[in-house]
Structure 1
Amino acid sequence: MIHGTRVTAFTLLLLGLTACGPLPVYYNAGHNQAQTQDATLSCQVQSLKQAPVANQLRQRPPVYYPGSRHCANGSCWARPGYWVDGGSYTVDVNQGLRQQLEQRCMATSGYQKIELPRCSQQQIASLQAQPNGTRPGHGLTPESCALRQKDGRTVILPAL
C-alpha cells in the first residue's frame, strides 16, 4: 500500500512540474495562428491514417511484500509475506511514429517546432478580452508566450 502511495505522489509531482514548463508549438512567421491550426490538424489526420492507434495491453510484474516478525513480552509471532498484483495498462505502440510523421509533415509545410513559456495570468486575461478568444500572429518577441486552451489548441500571445 505504501508503494502505491509513493507512485501516486511521484506521478502528481511530475504532472505538476510539466504543467509549469514551456509549451511546444509549431511556428511559421508567414502564417497566422488559424493557418497554423489548420495545417496542424491536417498533419495530425494524415499521420493518424499512416500510423493508426494500436493499443497493446501490458502487465506490470507483481510486487512481493515480505513478512515481518514481531516480539513482545517474550512471545514472538510472524506475519506472512504477500503478493500484490502489478496491474495492467495500455500502450499505443504507434504514438511515437505518429508524432514523428506529424513533425515531418509540419516541417514540409514550412513550420518549425519551438518551445515558448506558458502565459502569465495577465497575458491570459488579455487573450480572454479578445472577441473570439484568439489573436492573429504578430511575430515572435522575447516576451511571447503560449497558452493551451481547453480544446487542445495552443495560442501564441505577443508581448503585452
Structure 2
Amino acid sequence: MVSQRLSFAVFVGVMALTSCAPLSIYYKEGAEVSRLQTDELQCEISALSDVPVNNQIRQEPPIFIPARRYCDGAGNCYIRHGRFERGDIYTVDVNASLRARAEQQCMLDKGYAPTTVPNCPNTVFRAAPKASTRVLPRLTPQSCAIKYQDGTWQIVNQPG
C-alpha cells in the first residue's frame, strides 16, 4: 500500500514537471495534428522494426566501504571491518539512442522538424479560448503553447 502511494506521488510529480516544460513536437507548417500523430506512430513502428530493443543486463562496479572505528560516550569502541558492497544490477536498451535517431530521420524525411514552443504566460492562458490545435500554424517569435490535462495542446500566436 505504501509503495502504491509512493508510485502515485512520483507519477503526479513527473506529470507536474512535464506540464511545466515547453511543448516539444515535430513541426510542419499547415500539417494537421492528426496527420502528425499518424506519421509519428508510423515512424516509431518503423524505427522499432529496423532497430529492435536490445536489452542487456549490466552491473555497476562494487563499492569498497573502508574500516571504521565507532565509540560510544562511555569510551567503548569497536571496529567495523572494511567490506565491499555489490554494485546495482540494471537493464539498458543499447539500441535506444539509435532507434530514436532512426525515428527522427523518418520524421525529417516526411518534412517535419523537431521544434520546441515555449509555454504561454498566464495572461495568455486565461484569455485564450480553450481549443486544441488541429492544424499546425505558422510559428512566430510570439508563438506559445498551452497544454491541457487530456494531453492535447494549443499553439497561440500572441499579438506583438
Normalising by structure 2, report the TM-score.
0.68
The answer to whether the 8 Å contact 1:27/1:111 transfers is yes
- Give the Cα separation in 2 of the matches to 1:86 and 1:55: 19
* Deviation, structure 1 residue 53: 1.0
Deviation string for 1:120-159 (max 9, x for gaps)?
56666788933xx5543222132333467778x6745223
- Give the Cα separation in 1 of the matches to 2:127 and 2:143: 13
Q: Taking structure 1 as reference, are residues 85 and 127 closer, same or farther at Cα in structure 2, changes over 3 Å only?
A: farther
Q: Note if 1:36 corresponds to 2:64.
A: no
Secondary structure of 2:43 counterpart: helix
What's the counterpart of residue 106 of structure 1?
107
Percent identity reads 37
- Give the Cα separation in 1 of the matches to 2:128 and 2:48: 31
CA RMSD of aligned residues (A): 3.3
Q: How many matched pairs? A: 142
Q: Taking structure 1 as reference, are residues 127 and 81 closer, same or farther at Cα in structure 2, changes over 3 Å only?
A: farther
How do residues 3-82 of structure 1 correspond to structure 2 at under 5 angstroms? 19=18, 21-71=21-71, 76-82=77-83
The answer to whether the 8 Å contact 1:43/1:106 transfers is yes
The answer to whether the 8 Å contact 1:26/1:114 transfers is yes
- Give the Cα separation in 2 of the matches to 1:115 and 1:35: 19
* Deviation, structure 1 residue 25: 1.6
Unaligned runs of 5+ in 2: 1-13
